[in-house]
Amino acid sequence: MVQTKIIPGYPALMIEGTKKSLVITDLHLGFESNLSLNNIFLGKNKTVIEITKEIEEIIKKTKPDSLILLGDVKSGIKSITKTEWETVPTFFERINNLIDTILVPGNHDANIEKLIPNGITLASSKGIIIDDILLTHGHTKPSENFSQVNTIVMGHVHPVFFQEESLINGERVWVSIKCKKQKIFSSKSGKLEIIILPSFNRYFYPTQKKFYKKSIAPILEKIDVLQAKIVTLDGTIIGNESLLSAVI
């Protein structure tokens, strides 16, 4: 039986069974070109350098057997931008030299196969299964073919805690939701756990809720929440289902 464990201090999940898989999501490499249009400049390749270094640190500390990228490695939705042509292959080449890597494409990953070197495994956008866990980006509704799972691990919605008077306003958080399985898989009964990963890109979200655009997530639109936990990156539980509207 596999277990899921949050890696304290990082927006990263470990799935542990006979082997260990490190899971991260929503890198959005190349998003700097959008910021530059608004005269915000982070510096050339700053994000890809920081993200790659952070992933290398996690791999060194946790020693996983594989890395699973749960989509939105790149930022452009319908095309590949100039910045992505420069940054995404560089990222994959460095990671490819470190660890076996699987990419589950997200809605921002159109044509990403053109940016992937040999050795990276490109999975179906519908997701992959490890034991009783479905790992998917979160922008599509899971097929009934996956109904044997008891847990869905997803990204896509970039959970962030918004409460202006709070010391952790604007910080990325984890979300764990328990719901009725039948709402997602009509042929099944019982409970289903949904684990939502924070975005790995620390720059990809605003600190004010009025500038935060929610992503459409068919999985979350279908469910009835039975209970939920909101958890900070360091593992502190800060709330339950009553805080969901402030997070996703």
CATH number, domain of 67, equals: 3.60.21.10
Q: What's the pLDDT score for residue 71?
A: 93
The structure tokens listed for 156 are 């896509």
Taking Cα atoms as reference points, which of 65, 82, 58, 71 lies closest to residue 122?
Answer: 71
The set of long-range contacts for 111-118, using a CB threshold of 8 Å and a minimum separation of 24, is 111/79, 111/80, 112/73, 112/74, 112/80, 112/88, 114/80, 115/74, 115/80, 115/84, 115/85, 115/88, 115/89, 116/89, 116/92, 117/89, 117/92, 117/93
Burial class, 118, CB count within 10 angstroms (exposed 0-12 / middle 13-18 / buried 19+): exposed
Query: Is pLDDT of 207 > 50?
Result: no
| Full residue range of the structural domain in which residue 232 is found | 3-246
Highest mean pLDDT of the ranges 47-51, 122-126, 165-169: 122-126
| Number of domains, the chain | 1
Q: What's the pLDDT score for residue 45?
A: 65
What gap in Å lies between CA 113 and CA 133, rounded to an integer? 25
Higher pLDDT, 240 or 248: 240
pTM of the complete model: 0.91
